[in-house]
A = this chain, B = another copy of it.
């Protein structure tokens, strides 16, 4: 048995224990993890320095080095995150439906843990704690595979979780970590369909596509956000400018940031100069279609490929459209079905957009930046699903569970 397989087996066995672990014990575990993180902050920082030194030596970009860096403040944030999940209600055991059948059977649809969850993620070490804690609270055991740059830091964080597991008397297999940089380990993990119930990948488009194509374990993909704001002819142009600016500039590196602006041709001349100047002041690069270029000069021409792209950067594509039909068609065709918004003063157009755009989150008169577990009132999230099955949009504790039907009888047989 390989290391990957034996860890998958551990996780599977531990998931059978967690399946029936009461809320109080899971909460005690979360408390213990938070305490251990505080207690060992200095040691975590020391280990993190080793990863940082190796990263700089290997020529990792400044952005990636920053993502890898832990500080006292960042560890404190991780601890607060654990305490936030502690406070969330346990989804397990929730009765979603209950009905009495004519034959007297009482049928309940009840939330239960999924079981054994695999998570594959890239550099940020905080995901190790965030993801593990969400899985544990939902009663799932978890096999983690982090980025190779963060391998020492992640190992240390998992060691901390294992200490906490021991402190509360839970089996160490509840959280396992693949501590090899070998890429073959990922392929092996994707083949553990006997032991793992789901794989949740977080990372680059390329990584996620590889996993989707390769895995025999079901995958819940956290894909790209090529998000749009469409400014309709009846939009309040001040509100529209605020929404576009916020959606693009407030945090350009995240998946719910806007990557494209579509503008109704009737208001293009009034709106485009204003918004493009404002975006330029924030150092946003503008890539525009021909109609837009006939109105503003501070942009370069967009290519066909631009309309498909998620930049995750201070870049925006701008296109003038004939109206809501073209806007909806463009978004459904080129978009990634993540988050898209219309700014309009026409109620009917708002309703059409909300109905016809096939995305995880559709907005009228608001920034796309709100697609997020906290903003949606779901609590902490493990990511934002861009696929349609099981979980779509922010994926919180409830989405880390499945259901079972619980049937209470008094001797019923089928006729």
Contact = CB atoms under 8 A, between A and B. Distances in A.
Copies assembled = 2
Contacts of A409: 363-367
A99 B193 CA distance: 37
Interface residues of A, number: 67
A283 to B, nearest CB: 19
A408 B242 contact: no
Interface stretch (A2-10, A271-279, A398-406): A398-406
Contacts of A332: 16
B115 A388 contact: yes
B407 A364 contact: yes
A198 interface: yes
B389 A220 contact: yes
A107 B376 contact: yes
A84 interface: no
Contact of A358 (B112, B216, B354, B370): B112
Interface string A244-288: 011100100000000000000000000000000000000000000
A404 to B, nearest CB: 6
A278 to B, nearest CB: 13
A414 interface: yes
A392 interface: yes
A131 B403 CA distance: 23
Given A220-B389, A405-B376, A411 B243 contact: yes
Q: DSSP majority for the A interface?
A: mixed
A137 interface: no
A89 interface: no
Given A239-B411, A364-B407, A409-B363, A198 B388 contact: yes
Contacts of A57: none
A361 B212 contact: no
A178 B239 CA distance: 51
Contacts of A243: 411, 413
Interface in A100-136: 101, 105, 107, 112, 114-115
Contact of A404 (B236, B246, B360, B366): B360
Contact of A115 (B198, B355, B358): B358
Nearest to A220: B389
Contacts of A405: 360-362, 371, 376, 393
B412 A370 contact: yes
Contacts of A365: 408-412
B105 A370 contact: yes
Interface string A360-401: 111111110111000111000000000111101100000000
A413 B246 contact: yes
Contacts of A371: 405
Contact of A387 (B218, B350, B364): B218
Interface in A1-27: 16, 19-20
Given A198-B389, A219-B218, A359 B414 contact: no
Given A99-B377, A243-B411, A393-B405, 12 more contacts: A101-B375, A114-B388, A197-B388, A242-B413, A354-B406, A364-B407, A365-B408, A366-B407, A370-B412, A388-B402, A392-B404, A393-B404
9 contacts: A101-B375, A114-B388, A198-B389, A360-B405, A361-B406, A363-B407, A365-B412, A366-B407, A393-B404
Interface of A: 16, 19-20, 99, 101, 105, 107, 112, 114-115, 193, 197-198, 212-213, 216, 218-220, 236, 239, 242-243, 245-247, 250, 332, 350, 354-356, 358-367, 369-371, 375-377, 387-390, 392-393, 402-414
6 nearest A-B residue pairs (beta carbon): A366-B409, A246-B413, A369-B414, A239-B411, A390-B390, A388-B402
